[in-house]
Amino acid sequence: MLGLALVAVISIALLRAQTDATGTWDLTVVSRQGTATPSLTLQQSGEQLSGTYHGRFGDSKVTGTVRGDDIQFTVTLRFQDQDHVITYTGTVATDSMKGTVQFGDRGSGTWSGKRRSG
């Protein structure tokens, strides 16, 4: 019985480890300032994420992590002559992700994303 439980736990851990966020994602970001629709191009190597954020303030570098189905990434955007670190946290599945976003000290919001096909 213990052996069967251990196999189940290991199987669940392996399934969680298989989440891969590599690809191009279309995001919807909702905050008190309104709704934005940036996109991300991500590459994943192990737990590490890198890539490019494409939004209304131009393109910016993305760095972050994926652990199981938990995703976290940051983007530094320059507007009003200042750099602003935007932190996204949430969960990722095969073709979707969602969570919360923190705009430094300027508030927070929610976000969701869909992986582009092809």
The number of distinct structural domains making up the chain is 1
pLDDT confidence of residue 17: 54
Mean pLDDT of 19-41: 95
pLDDT confidence of residue 29: 97
SS3 93: coil
Q: What would the pLDDT profile of 47-106 be if each residue is shown by its tens digit?
A: 999 999 999 889 999 999 999 999 999 999 888 888 999 999 999 999 999 999 999 888
CATH of the domain at 70: 2.40.128.120
Contacts of 32 (CB under 8 A, 6+ apart): 107, 109
SS3 28: strand
Q: How many angstroms separate the CA atoms of 71 and 18, rounded?
A: 13
- CA atoms 89, 96, 113, 31: torsion sign: negative
Q: How many angstroms separate the CA atoms of 60 and 14, rounded?
A: 32
Residue 54 domain boundaries: 2-115
SS3 101: strand
Q: Residue with structure tokens 């992700």?
A: 97
